[in-house]
Amino acid sequence: MSKTIIISNRLPVQLQISDGGLTAIPSVGGLATGMKSVHSGGESLWIGWSGLTEEDTPPALEKDIDKALKEHGCAKVNLTAKEIEGFYFGFSNRTVWPLFHYFMEYTEFELDFWDVYKAVNQKFADAIIEKSDENDTIWVHDYQLMLVPQMVREKRPNTSIGFFLHIPFPSYEIFRTLPWREEVLQGLLGSDLIGFHTYDYERHFLSSVRRLLGLDVSFNDVYLDHRVIKVDSFPMGIDYKKFRDAALLHGKNIHEKRSDLQVKLDDHKASAPDTKLILSIDRLDYSKGIAKRINAFEYFLNKYPEYKEKVRLIILAVPSRSNVPQYQLLKKEIDELVGRINGELSTVNWTPIWYFYRSLPFENLIDLYTSSDIAWLTPLRDGMNLVAKEYIATRIDKTGVLILSEMAGSAYEMNEALLINPNNFEQQADTLKAAITMPKEEQMARNMFLQNRLERYNVEVWANEFMHALNKKSEGDDDAFVS
């Protein structure tokens, strides 16, 4: 029987080694949830890195780890600490991530990183070959594994291979600066179907293929030797029901067991009912525009001083890639900015910014979404941005205003949000004012459209549409690709 093989850098389970032994805990992330419909019923295998380096894996536990992963339909690729350094912290996050997000000044072109990236991609490809058959369908995820499709294709010319990029694809002018640009394109073109979040990323990719490889491109088909590769956009959704149900439950439990954070949020509401809460949630990443957002908030308070003591900005920054120097510098910059602004503007009754640098449990995420009057998300470039979608899904009474950067992939589908250019402080200050004063009826009218769309195009639909297009491709039915 043929199966589906899913490949991503990390597995959808986390291993925990304690005195009591080994446990594998399923992750709650968007990808893991989205792939549930594909990754179920014993007909699929998920291959990835377990999160433990070879050095950190006690040899006596090897077999137990494999067994625990197998129970979740997973198999691991073993990586050494040196490989993680060059492949993940190196080429993936010091070359591809900054380049694809247009941070040229942070992009490092290191031959050593590239060599390790190639070797680790080969390890993933070898694991796929070892654990799959010719008839299996293979779905490779994201920028850490862009060479895998071609590496598998060389050994399995007839296998059906799909690839999805979760981050933006840059314009040709930026992409062509990469010393290994042809190899990356050829790696991706080992696929039968290549998916992006938006039509713009798809267009950028096709333009690079045409100009750098000189291949024939017609509409969204690439012609390579005797193969036709399909390129299309599949905007990723969220698990709408999960967020909606959590918010409904949250409303019912309000007077029972409250988290510390919820107690703080409720106290805030009781003591300052007219103070609007403005929420921002991101991984601590320079692409998310957190420092600029804090500066824009200060600009807003100076432009409209009547809102001092009437608004509060909550910043939740989730620790991320703290081994990479740029992320350490950003953390320092944000700490200092928040300290300075709170120091200069706070009053006896008011602190303008509440800043949390940590990962919070899911319940707390829901506390924040449901308690905030406004969500303000200002990435400078973002493949999609799921936080924008999650905030809207939790607004049970349909109130709440979403201010969203035009540079996020999700902005293409969320026209009813207030869309802004994160570099335009004047526009952002005016938009914040418009959000604070927006009548409830208008909020509800906008969110009704947004919620209907999010409910319909949820993450399961996203995964199924991709798989459907990939299966159609292998059956030779090209009608599935008319976008």
Give helix 181-188 / helix 148-155 axis angle, nearest 10°. 60
- Per CB under 6 A, does 237 bind ligand ADQ? no
Q: How far is the CB of 229 from ligand ADQ (least distance, A)?
A: 21
- The residues, any chain, with a CB within 8 Å of residue 61's CB and separated by 6 or more, are 17, 22
Among 48, 86, 190, 383, binds ligand ADQ (CB under 6 A): 383
Q: How far is the CB of 256 from ligand ADQ (least distance, A)?
A: 23
- Per CB under 6 A, does 194 bind ligand ADQ? no
Q: For residue 379, give both structure tokens.
A: 């990435």
Among 367, 390, 416, 460, binds ligand ADQ (CB under 6 A): 390
Phi, psi of 418 (to 5 degrees): -85, 110
Among 132, 378, 385, 443, binds ligand ADQ (CB under 6 A): 385
- Per CB under 6 A, does 417 bind ligand ADQ? no
Among 7, 184, 384, 432, binds ligand ADQ (CB under 6 A): 384
Of 35, 140, 123, 57, the C-alpha closest to 87 is 123
Contact 359, 353 (CB under 8 A): no
Q: How far is the CB of 429 from ligand ADQ (least distance, A)?
A: 24
Annotate each residue in 307-326 with x if it binds ligand ADQ (CB under 6 A) or - if it does not, as one string: ---------x-x--------
Q: How far is the CB of 23 from ligand ADQ (least distance, A)?
A: 19
Span from 72-80, 385-393, 423-431, 455-463 in contact with ligand ADQ (CB under 6 A) = 385-393
Beta-strand relationship, 418-420 and 401-405: parallel
Please name every residue paired with 221 in a beta bridge, in sequence order, or none if there are none.
Answer: 218, 230
Long-range contacts of 226-229 (CB under 8 A, 24+ apart): 227/192, 229/189, 229/191, 229/192, 229/193, 229/194
Long-range contacts of 433-436 (CB under 8 A, 24+ apart): 433/300, 433/304, 433/307, 435/373, 435/374, 435/376, 435/401, 435/403, 436/276, 436/307, 436/310, 436/311, 436/373, 436/374
Distance CA 254, CA 81 (A): 45
Q: How far is the CB of 354 from ligand ADQ (least distance, A)?
A: 14
Annotate each residue in 354-373 with x if it binds ligand ADQ (CB under 6 A) or - if it does not, as one string: -----xx----x--------
Which residue, 32 or 69, has its beta carbon nearer to ligand ADQ?
32
Please name every residue paired with 230 in a beta bridge, in sequence order, or none if there are none.
Answer: 193, 221
User: What is the footprint of ligand ADQ within residues 259-288 (CB under 6 A)?
Assistant: 281, 283
Q: Within 13 A of 172's CA, how many CA atoms are on the CB side?
A: 10
Span from 102-110, 173-181, 266-274, 380-388 in contact with ligand ADQ (CB under 6 A) = 380-388
- Per CB under 6 A, does 382 bind ligand ADQ? yes
Q: How far is the CB of 337 from ligand ADQ (least distance, A)?
A: 20
Q: How far is the CB of 201 from ligand ADQ (least distance, A)?
A: 11
> CA 393 → CA 13, 337, 418, distances in Å?
25, 31, 16
Q: How far is the CB of 360 from ligand ADQ (least distance, A)?
A: 4
Contact 25, 159 (CB under 8 A): no
User: What is the footprint of ligand ADQ within residues 3-42 (CB under 6 A)?
Assistant: 30
Tell me which residues touch ligand ADQ (CB under 6 A).
30, 166-167, 236, 281, 283, 316, 318, 359-360, 365, 382-387, 390
